[in-house]
Amino acid sequence: MFDKDYPASIAPAMDDGLDLHRHFGTRKVWEKYNVAKSPTISISEIWVDNESPASVVESRTISSYDLDNWLQETSTKFILTEDHTRALRIVWVGLDPSNHRPSPATRDLEHLLSTWDLQDGYDYALSCFAGVSALPSESKTTRTFTATYHPKLALAWSHTTTQDTTNETQTNIVVFAEGEERAELLAALNSKWNPSLIRDAMFPAFLCTLMLSQELDTTLEDIKTVVRNVEARTGHHRFTTRRQTRPAAGELGSLSAEMSGCAAKLANGTRKLKVVEAINNFILSNDSTSVISNHITLLTHRSEMQAVDTSYVQQRVQVQIAALFHLIAQQDNAIAFETANATRSIAKDSLQDSSSMKMLALVTMFFLPGSFVASLFSAPLFDWEGAVGKSGISLGTRPQFALFWVVAVPLTVGTFGLYVMWIVLQKKRLRRRLNGVPV
């Protein structure tokens, strides 16, 4: 695709492909790294010697003012007792773990991308969610590639092969990586790789698939630890070496949340496996050496086993989610049963209270007439002194007697009338509310 002479009929397709990459490059999936000022730039270099089986990795921080000098440095260096050739240069984009400051500055990053002709590649990498791709190129000596795993990793690199007798290669990489991802990539770089592997155009893609594969191993081990703890709490397993530590009655909700989180992490792991598979296939389709093919074959086999392990852990997580669901349902049923018993007890107590109230009402009815008569006779409404000495039942009344009825009867009627009016008003409001009429 890159190192052959194309006929004129294919040239428009190449231009269309490049335009398509630029089109997607304007549509960012994640925010492009952008910082106004940063005085330093984190870089890494790999130096190789054809006579030595190991490579030399140098990682350091340079000042923004030294960027042009670094770009113009010669590609050979005397290290130890041999001459070494620089095969790879990396510029790290993102938060610098040494000073916790973002770098490089926007102007420095744009200058780097322009110098290495990686602006289109970097923009396209930031427009992808995941995957690896090659950008069309009209150059016969330089190829440009991108790899992305949102939102942790995005890189664009160019691989140049000289056309002289030395057949030397140079790879320039711009990598957006922070935290664990940068640490993993640096650890992978510091391994003693074969010089022919480092000179391969697919070496950056190989580092990506290696990092993602190792991250997946770590994720699976963390999930297995959580699943083991939950299995020990629920008792839903058949592992003879794992006993139930203590019942999970009071923590079912939190355990269910942990299992849901594990299920989400496994879904992310499945996506990561697909990306690793895509990168491996891409490397094999663009490989020109047998060294990297052997490595990719091994990584492919590991990915297949990781897929089996991921499926196994996912099934265990689903079993625990179902077990917790049933345990929560049983707990809810037990609570509902206790609530029903409490309601039954309250109803029984209410029945007893009702019987007591009826008894009190009967007692009140028994004493009410006498109490009324006693209260009425005790009031200064009758002429008791005039009744002294008279024979038979003869009792006169005082003027207050008529006043009592004049006040009491209208007041009683008015009280009942207000009560009836209040009941009617409440019914009208309820009827309007049911009919949708504003009250």
Pairing mode, strands 82-96 and 169-177: parallel
pLDDT tens track for 177-205: 988 899 999 999 988 888 888 989 999 99
pLDDT tens track for 123-168: 999 889 899 999 987 777 889 999 999 888 999 999 998 766 556 7
Confidence class for position 112, pLDDT limits 50, 70, 90: very high
Q: φ, ψ for residue 157 (rounded to 5)?
A: -140, 150
pLDDT tens track for 296-347: 999 999 999 999 999 999 999 999 999 888 888 888 888 888 888 888 888 8
Q: What is the pTM of this model?
A: 0.73
pLDDT reported for residue 265? 93
Confidence class for position 8, pLDDT limits 50, 70, 90: very low
pLDDT reported for residue 390? 60
Q: Which of 307, 329, 326, 308 is nearest to 318 (CA)?
A: 326
Q: Which of 293, 295, 301 is nearest to 277 (CA)?
A: 301
pLDDT reported for residue 117? 92
Residue 275 predicted with pLDDT over 80:
yes
Q: Which of 127, 204, 205 is nearest to 171 (CA)?
A: 204
pLDDT reported for residue 44? 94
pLDDT tens track for 208-264: 999 999 999 999 999 999 998 888 888 777 665 656 555 566 678 888 889 999 999
Q: Which strand (E) or helix (H) includes residue 57?
A: strand 56-63
- Rounded CA-CA distance 213/206 in Å is 11
pLDDT reported for residue 326? 86
DSSP notation for 165-195: TT--EEEEEEEEE-HHHHHHHHHHHTS---H
